[in-house]
Chains A and B, each alone.
Chain A
Amino acid sequence: MSTPVVDVRGVTKEFDGKPVLRGVDVTVNEHEAVVLIGASGSGKSTLLRCVDLLVEIDDGDILIDGEVVTDPASDPQRVRRSLAMVFQNFNLFPHMSVIDQITLAPVKAHGISKAEAIEEGRALLARFGLGDREKDYPDQLSGGQQQRVALIRAIATRPRALLLDEITSALDPELVGEVLEVVRELKVGGMTMLIATHEMAFARDVADEVCFLHQGQVLERGAARDVIDNPQQAETQRFLSRMHAARVI
């Protein structure tokens, strides 16, 4: 087996003495999508933020391409340059046009020439149906369009892996589809992804592995048809039946 792209080993994290992650192991191999499911507060978002070094872990290790990156001596900027993250609330830069925000990091952090970055950015926008929006500002776009721009901004840096933190949770239901369509296409294109989501149908579609997080631990993991459609653990069953009741499956 080749080296995993993202390898989370026994990671723990407390906030003000409250444990949020209690020894989490997650492995994402190249071209794979691992989907984290679980209730709010189960630690999905925190885990993603730890992987992107936006939050410092207390114990354990996180390896990117076999290299330990959670060593306090390692350079967080170098690690973040090799990953890309998309957030629940889009976090687009409101003062920048669409083309400016998707070329900012490639030019400033990745040393790509401005002309090349713009050309690649336009190609990405066209590919995901936003070709006529490059001069617009975020407040001129719908939520679905904003989140698609955020996805393009992330992949424009040619990341080794994409971290998606509940990217459809802030969207109106009718806008969820267009965003998930982009992710499905990226998955087909072989993007390595670690995804936190509440969309079970989507998880079933893209996941090579589903991990059910409960109170900071992975209680159950496996193929989507096992974990989502035939859960073994009582907690997983409880969570999924609540999701059923809310008709989100």
Chain B
Amino acid sequence: MSASVPSRREVRAAAHRSRERRGALIAAISTLIVIGGGVLWMTTRQGWPTVEETFFSAEAFRTSFPDILRGFWIDVKLFLVVEVLVLVCSLLVAVLRSTRAPALFPFRLIGAVYADLFRGVPTILIVYLVGFGIPALDLPLMPNDPIILAAIALTLSYTAYVSEVFRAGIDSVHPGQRGAALAVGLSRAQAMRFVVLPQAVRNVVPPLLNDFISLQKDVALVSVLGIVEAFRVAQIDAASTFNYTPLLAAASLYVIVTVPLSLFLDRMQRRHRRSRRLEEARA
């Protein structure tokens, strides 16, 4: 085909490109007006200087941030350890609850009562109960370190949620998979270990990460035990200066660790949706 006469295919492609360009331009202008306008409106209000001084003071940020960051390190260590503990414990609870052996009935019962009870109690209350209750017993072998107690409390609370996530994952695996595993001669335990669980875990990665996002900020609750982590440091600072910038500084740290996880989660779910659509298109 000669260059002077564009083919129908080229005409369509050009139209498609120009439509996309126009769309992007409109989106950019709209964003500028809505967000830029909002910021402009806010910063030109009469009370803005006071707001800026109270919440966005560069000076207060500089003086408080190093301490807050040091405190945040405790948060990071705590949620990393608790995430591992929660993964292990909740998988155990979920598998236990999906067994059928009569001998394991008491464990199934305990598992069910535990999951329902601990999901029903506010996490802050569990932190209080474990953090102050256990030392009050004055038992010889019990830990007294508030950080260890805080880790136990958070693990207790989150294992209850995450075990339900895993249980849903186990239920989501088609029964034919277990049948096929048994049919080739695997034992029930092997069918669970090699066939059901790997698929179950894969199916629940998004809700699992969701719970971890929630955990990564709930670590701030341990401040009630007097642990000087990021929120607590910021709170002390704010209380002594009547400036709330340190709290926003702390907030930004929690955001910095949770937002990447949320973005990763979004991307994963998009990919999951796409692969499902592909599968359906092929079927």
Report the bound CA distance from A105 to B180 in whole Å.
11
Contact yes or no, A157 B185, CB < 8 A = yes
A91: B residues at CB distance < 8 A: 174, 176-177, 179-180
Q: How far is B179's CA from A85's CA once the two chains are assembled, in angstroms?
A: 10
Docked complex: A53-110 residues within 8 A CB-CB of B: 54, 76-77, 80-81, 83-85, 87, 89, 91-95, 104-105, 108-110
Query: Which parts of B155-193 form the interface with A (CB within 8 Å)?
Result: 174, 176-177, 179-188, 190
Task: Evaluate contact between A157 and B187: CB separation under 8 angstroms.
Answer: no
Please tell me if A7 contacts chain B, counting CB pairs below 8 Å. Answer: no
Q: Could you write out 5 A-B pairs with CB less than 8 Å apart?
A: A83-B183, A95-B202, A108-B186, A153-B184, A154-B184
Known pairs A85-B183, A153-B184; A95 contacts B176 (CB<8 A): no
Across the interface, A84 reaches (CB within 8 A) one of B174, B179, B184, B195, namely B184
Asked whether, in the complex, the Cβ of B190 is within 8 Å of the Cβ of A109, the reply is yes
Contact A105 B184 (CB under 8 A): yes
B113 CB to nearest A CB, Å: 31
**B199 interface residue per 8 A CB criterion:** yes
Chain A residues contacting B176 (CB-CB under 8 Å) are 87, 89, 91
Residues on A lying within 8 angstroms of B by beta carbon are 52, 54, 76-77, 80-81, 83-85, 87, 89, 91-95, 104-105, 108-110, 139, 153-154, 157
Measured CA separation A54–B176 after assembly (Å)? 11
Q: How far is the CA of A13 from the CA of B96 in the complex (A)?
A: 31
Tell me whether B183 and A52 are in contact (CB under 8 A). yes
Are B183 and A93 in contact (CB-based, < 8 A)? Answer: no
Residues of B within 8 A of A89 (CB): 176
Residues in A neighbouring B179, C-beta threshold 8 A: 54, 87, 91
A109: chain B residues within 8 A (beta carbon): 184-187, 190
Q: How far apart are the CA atoms of A110 and B190 in the complex, in Å?
A: 12
Given contacts A87-B176, A93-B177, A94-B199, whether A108 and B183 have CB atoms under 8 Å apart is no
Which positions 198-226 of chain B face chain A at CB distance < 8 Å? 198-199, 202
Chain B interface (Cβ within 8 Å of chain A)? 174, 176-177, 179-188, 190, 194-195, 198-199, 202, 279
Partner of B186, one of A83, A95, A105: A105
Judge whether A77 and B199 touch: CB under 8 Å. Answer: no
CA–CA, A110 and B187, complex, Å: 11
Closest residue on chain A to residue B283 by CB atoms: A143
Residue in B183, B185, B195 whose Cβ sees the most chain A Cβ within 10 Å: B183
Q: What is the bound-complex CA distance between A84 and B179, given in angstroms?
A: 11
A93 touches B180 (CB 8 A): yes
Q: Which residues of B contact A92 (CB under 8 A)?
A: 180
Tell me whether A80 and B185 are in contact (CB under 8 A). Answer: yes
Partner of A95, one of B184, B198, B279: B198
C-alpha gap A94/B179 in the complex (Å): 14
| Minimum distance in angstroms from B246 CB to a CB of chain A | 47
How far apart are the CA atoms of A154 and B188 in the complex, in Å?
18
The CA of A153 and the CA of B182, in the complex, are separated in Å by 13
CB neighbours (8 Å) of B279 from chain A are 139
In the complex, which residues of chain A have a beta carbon less than 8 angstroms from the beta carbon of B190?
Answer: 108-109
In the complex, chain A residues whose CB is within 8 Å of the CB of B181: 93
Contact partners of A93 in chain B: CB under 8 A: 177, 180-181, 195, 199
- Distance between A163 CB and nearest chain B CB, rounded to angstroms: 8
Q: How far is the CA of A87 from the CA of B181 in the complex (A)?
A: 12
Closest B residue, CB atoms, query A95: B198
Residues of chain B contacted by A108 (CB below 8 angstroms): 186, 190, 194
Which residues of A are found within 8 Å of B188, using beta-carbon distances? 77
Residue in A closest to B201 when the chains form the complex, CB atoms? A95
Please name all residues of chain A whose beta carbon is closer than 8 Å to the beta carbon of B202 when the two chains form the complex. Answer: 95
Bound Cα distance from A77 to B189, whole angstroms:
11
Whether B185 contacts A110 by the Cβ 8 Å rule is yes
Nearest-CB residue, chain B, relative to A154 = B184
Chain A contacts for B195, CB-based, 8 A:
93
Question: What is the bound-complex CA distance between A95 and B195, given in angstroms?
Answer: 8
Also in contact, A80 and B183, with CB within 8 A (given A104-B194, A108-B190, A108-B194): yes
Q: Which of B180, B186, B194 contacts A87 (CB 8 A)?
A: B180
Instruction: Please indicate the chain B residues that have their CB under 8 angstroms from the CB of A54 in the complex.
Output: 179, 182-183
Inter-chain CA distance A95–B180, complex, in Å, is 14
> Which single residue of chain A is at the shortest CB-CB distance from B183?
A85
A52 CB contacts on chain B under 8 angstroms:
183
Across the interface, do B180 and A77 meet the contact criterion of CB distance under 8 Å? no
A80 CA / B181 CA spacing, docked (Å): 10
- Find chain B residues with CB under 8 A from A104 CB: 184, 186, 194
Contact of A77 among B174, B185, B194 (CB under 8 A): B185
**B235, chain A: closest CB distance, angstroms:** 47
> Does A84 lie within 8 Å of B186, measured CB to CB?
no
Q: Give CA–CA (A153, B279) in the complex, Å.
A: 23
Q: What's the minimum C-beta distance from B28 to chain A, rounded to whole angstroms?
A: 39
